[in-house]
Amino acid sequence: MSEASRKAGEEKVPAKDEATEGARPSAGHDLWGGRFSAKPSQVMERINASIDADRRFALEDIAGSRAHCRMLVTQGIIPESDGARILEGLETVEAEIREGRMRFDPALEDIHMHVEARLHELIGPAAGRLHTARSRNDQVATDFRLWCRRALLKIEGDIADLQRALLTRAEEHAETLMPGFTHLQVAQPVTFGHHLMAYFEMLARDRGRIADARRRLNESPLGAAALAGTAFPIDREATARALGFARPMANSLDAVSARDFALESVAALDILALHLSRLAEELVIWSSPAFGFVRIDDTFSTGSSIMPQKRNPDAAELIRAKPGTTLGSYARLHTMLKGLPLAYAKDLQEDKPPVFEAVDAVRLGLAAMTGMIAGLTANEERMAEMAGSGFSTATDLADWLVRQLAMPFREAHHVVGRLVRHAEESGRRLDELTLDEIRAQVPEADESVFAVLSARASAESRTSFGGTAPAQVRERLAAAAERLAGLDRALKEEIAADPIGLETPP
């Protein structure tokens, strides 16, 4: 950051005359200042600058400029010699950016002007030809789509990591009993592996939603120019292809003003954050001493500065809070876009920070959740004990009455209800009642009734497709692992095809 820009950043809003005077030379002004007699005030520069945000598009901006330059040469719009100089210069600018040597200055407004200004310093007047048949309006829309595509690809990979961690834990616990809950009241025994795989499925849908958003946004705005297209004989198919877009966008006005791709991406991320928050909440509950189901590894726990015994699930709680960020991002974008007339308006410059924040929040949340799941240990004894509590096999007993005695289910429900009340009054579980006590309600009952009263028998009996029986869970696990491997292969190919790639994270 230059001395001047550092000052501008530190300064309070100046007094009015100072604000309107604008005596400081403006670098950005050099690029569009032809029709003005006065330079912009410092306040104008500050409200206008977006470089703090859009510098994250630097690689995308270079990639877009490269594709545009090559096309201009091929189409005979600029001389080949200038094109070669531009490409060479862009190479240097890219190296400077990758190595963190690029100097950012709010006076240069945004990343597009930074790249162009630096190019000008490096190669002189030929740099001025790059902006032929292009506007910052189609440029920013192009950069933003390229960036979102990379960010979503990265997140799809991050989700896969969490899915793999869940698969591993679920395989380990395909037989481990735990209580299944409804209303957070013990309902029926399930296996821990089955419960974990519910999140695998949610994440699979998240991945699908994100991939859908990514494919839908994969059209090129480049060549829409300011809003109306251009009179130069450009080749939009060529630039679209060079940047890995499926096709050029069909309407130039739409191309520069559409941001539903950003909104859709954030919506998909918000739903993902929501799923993570549900799992996070379960970890908070399960790891509490009152439940004692799981232990979150030391590496993802924190202590209390006053209570030496504490072992807090801070990471889980922070993940639980992330939908505040993602839904906040959605609300910001949505509010900003509502009622905007076509085509480009500067409101659209404020579209980036909410997307960046949502992406960063989700990526950090995914990484922390993956770490927690990878290091999670289960207290199997405690979980099994609780699996048999709360009369969790009452439904199994009712089912047994239906199967063995052909009793209508409604009647069986009542009979078992009376047995539960009896057991509860005497402080026992259903399987602790005597046969005589059961016979008081069901005269036809014999010893075989006890076989259905254990939590394990209950879980093992639920063999229906997608049910909790360990055998069924193992089948679903195998299918899930296969699905995941297929998706991962496809993702690898898409990452390899990206002109920027994921080597430098978005």
Phi/psi for 65 (5° steps) reads -65, -40
The alpha-helical segments, DSSP class H, found in 188-235 are 192-216
Q: Nearest Cα to 259, choosing from 328, 326, 347?
A: 347
CB count within 10 Å of CB 463 equals 13
With CB under 6 A as the contact rule, which of the stretches 75-83, 87-95, 136-144, 308-316 interacts with ligand ARG? 136-144
Shortest gap between Cβ of 57 and ligand ARG (angstroms)? 9
Q: How far is CA 388 from the centre of its chain?
A: 37
Residue 348 within binding range of ligand ARG, rule CB under 6 A: yes
Q: Which is nearer to ligand ARG, 104 or 181 (CB)?
A: 104
Q: Which is nearer to ligand ARG, 113 or 211 (CB)?
A: 113
With CB under 6 A as the contact rule, which of the stretches 35-43, 197-205, 340-348, 496-504 interacts with ligand ARG? 340-348
Segment 140 to 199, residues that bind ligand ARG, using CB under 6 A:
140
Distance CA(298)–CA(437), nearest Å, equals 48
Shortest gap between Cβ of 140 and ligand ARG (angstroms)? 4
From 81, 288, 304, 426, the catalytic residue: 304
- How far apart are the two ends of the chain, measured CA to CA in Å? 22
Shortest gap between Cβ of 161 and ligand ARG (angstroms)? 32
Residue 110 within binding range of ligand ARG, rule CB under 6 A: yes
Site size with ligand ARG, rule: CB under 6 A: 10
Distance CA(473)–CA(456), nearest Å, equals 14
Q: Which is nearer to ligand ARG, 69 or 348 (CB)?
A: 348
Distance CA(139)–CA(265), nearest Å, equals 20
Shortest gap between Cβ of 346 and ligand ARG (angstroms)? 6
Shortest gap between Cβ of 353 and ligand ARG (angstroms)? 11
Burial 358-388 (b: 16+ CB within 10 A, else e): bbebbbbbbebbbbbbbbbebbeeebbebbb
Please give the helix or strand (H or E) that residue 487 lies within, else none. Answer: helix 470-497
- Give the chain's count of helices (H) and strands (E): 21, 6
Residue position matching structure tokens 């390229």: 146
Q: Which is nearer to ligand ARG, 67 or 336 (CB)?
A: 336
Shortest gap between Cβ of 344 and ligand ARG (angstroms)? 6
Phi/psi for 90 (5° steps) reads -60, -35
Phi/psi for 204 (5° steps) reads -65, -40
The conformation of residue 77, written as its DSSP 8-state character, comes to S
Q: Nearest Cα to 225, choosing from 138, 143, 141, 146?
A: 138
With CB under 6 A as the contact rule, which of the stretches 71-79, 343-351, 416-424, 456-464 interacts with ligand ARG? 343-351
The angle subtended at Cα 255 by Cα 251 and Cα 256, nearest 5°, is 130
With CB under 6 A as the contact rule, which of the stretches 3-11, 344-352, 356-364, 451-459 interacts with ligand ARG? 344-352
Which value, to the nearest 10 degrees, does the dihedral of the CA atoms of residues 456, 458, 463, 468 take? -70
Shortest gap between Cβ of 115 and ligand ARG (angstroms)? 12
Q: Which is nearer to ligand ARG, 32 or 409 (CB)?
A: 32
With CB under 6 A as the contact rule, which of the stretches 135-143, 266-274, 385-393, 478-486 interacts with ligand ARG? 135-143
Question: What is the widest separation between alpha-carbon atoms in the chain?
Answer: 102
Shortest gap between Cβ of 478 and ligand ARG (angstroms)? 48
Shortest gap between Cβ of 304 and ligand ARG (angstroms)? 45
What does the per-residue mask of binding to ligand ARG show for 16-55, with x meaning CB under 6 A? Answer: ----------------------------------x---x-
Segment 50 to 89, residues that bind ligand ARG, using CB under 6 A:
50, 54
What does the per-residue mask of binding to ligand ARG show for 349-368, with x meaning CB under 6 A? Answer: x-------------------
Indicate the residue type of 240.
A
- State the pairing for strand pair 219-220/185-191: unpaired
Q: Which is nearer to ligand ARG, 68 or 275 (CB)?
A: 68
Inter-residue contact 317 to 280 (CB < 8 Å): yes
Residue 134 within binding range of ligand ARG, rule CB under 6 A: no
Query: Among this protein's residues, is 183 annotated catalytic?
Result: yes
Task: Choose, by CB under 6 A, the member of 137, 163, 218, 472 that binds ligand ARG.
Answer: 137
Q: Can you give the length of the chain in residues?
A: 506
Residue 379 within binding range of ligand ARG, rule CB under 6 A: no
Q: Which is nearer to ligand ARG, 149 or 195 (CB)?
A: 149
| Cα distances (Å, whole numbers) of residue 17 to 5, 12, 23 | 20, 14, 11
Q: Which is nearer to ligand ARG, 111 or 362 (CB)?
A: 111
Q: Which is nearer to ligand ARG, 116 or 270 (CB)?
A: 116
Residue 219 within binding range of ligand ARG, rule CB under 6 A: no
Indicate the residue type of 477.
L
From 183, 305, 448, 464, the catalytic residue: 183
Query: Among this protein's residues, is 422 annotated catalytic?
Result: no
- DSSP for 270-333, please give it: HHHHHHHHHHHHHHHHHHSTTT--EE--GGG-B--SS-TT--B-HHHHHHHHHHHHHHHHHHHH
Residue 344 within binding range of ligand ARG, rule CB under 6 A: yes
Q: What residues act catalytically?
A: 183, 304
Q: Which residues bind ligand ARG (CB under 6 A)?
A: 50, 54, 110, 136-137, 140, 344, 346, 348-349
